[in-house]
A = this chain, B = another copy of it.
């Protein structure tokens, strides 16, 4: 089924109010969940609301907690998220990084002891919509083996870079695993194969069959050894700079996905060096350069990062946001 944006948001908000969120906070969180589904990131939109509610009920997320400033030093601020809602903590941190960048040209906010921020791209799009360049990432519990290993020791540590552009922001939102477990499940249920190998079966053969990877838990890092190494650096940089937990520590907490995680928010004024006209021209030239490539498949289109999200957004605002019947009914029942 397809649900209008306002209907979906109102239902999510109702559920969040019911678990004790204030009006203002429920409004923000409901918007973010609905916007994620609207942009096609269903896994972290409507589909995550029931799990969030479950975490609140288990005491893993404190709906009323707010971030507290631990340390301020130059262009850097460090906050404790106090296990408040990950969306609110991350929105707060990105806004602080924007404010700092106005003063210092660049702003760094580090956040420890927070909870799942849902869709990482949310904070990149936010910054870009406001005219800022942003780099942000989170660490997570382990879900992927390091390169050369069999058992899970690395987080998929989603990483976001965003740039503002009038004709459409350029936003990269990528996890360090080639595919998410959500993608494996969806593909298996459709009885399809992954477009490229996504992991190893239990005998150590690369495979595109999702069920075999779910069984072995040997999901593949993005670019094999490269994504493995990148995940290690994203994890440790986030932990160190926030005085928070690394994946090895999050694995001990065991309070749901990302319970107690560490996050980094870097914001830069993109117009300082060259001005806005230069930025727009450079980005438009780059988009044009890519788009005039010869497509690999006749009639194929080459997209810039964020373009498909914007396309899905437009379509879902017109036609309603796709929702799984069971998921929607569960929300209505909460």
- The answer to whether the Cβ of A71 comes within 8 Å of any Cβ in the partner chain is yes
- The answer to whether the Cβ of A232 comes within 8 Å of any Cβ in the partner chain is yes
| Complex: A71 Cα to B266 Cα, angstroms | 20
> Chain A: interface residue count, which band?
35 or more
Taking a contact as CB atoms under 8 Å apart, the answer to whether B106 and A74 are in contact is yes
| Complex: A218 Cα to B294 Cα, angstroms | 12
The chain B residue with its CB closest to the CB of A272 is: B73
- The answer to whether the Cβ of A138 comes within 8 Å of any Cβ in the partner chain is no
Taking a contact as CB atoms under 8 Å apart, the answer to whether A239 and B282 are in contact is yes
Which of B105, B243, B269, B290 interacts with A153 by CB under 8 Å? B290
Sample of 30 A–B contacts (CB below 8 Å): A70-B273, A71-B273, A74-B103, A76-B268, A106-B266, A133-B237, A133-B240, A145-B293, A146-B290, A148-B300, A149-B296, A150-B293, A150-B295, A153-B289, A154-B290, A161-B230, A161-B234, A170-B233, A172-B230, A174-B223, A223-B223, A223-B226, A229-B304, A232-B304, A240-B273, A240-B278, A243-B273, A243-B274, A246-B285, A246-B286
- Which A residues contact B (CB, under 8 angstroms)? 70-71, 73-76, 78, 103-106, 108, 110, 133, 145-151, 153-154, 161, 163, 170, 172, 174, 178, 196, 200, 204, 206, 218, 222-224, 226-227, 229-230, 232-237, 239-243, 246-249, 266, 268-270, 272-274, 278-279, 282-283, 285-286, 288-290, 293-297, 300-305
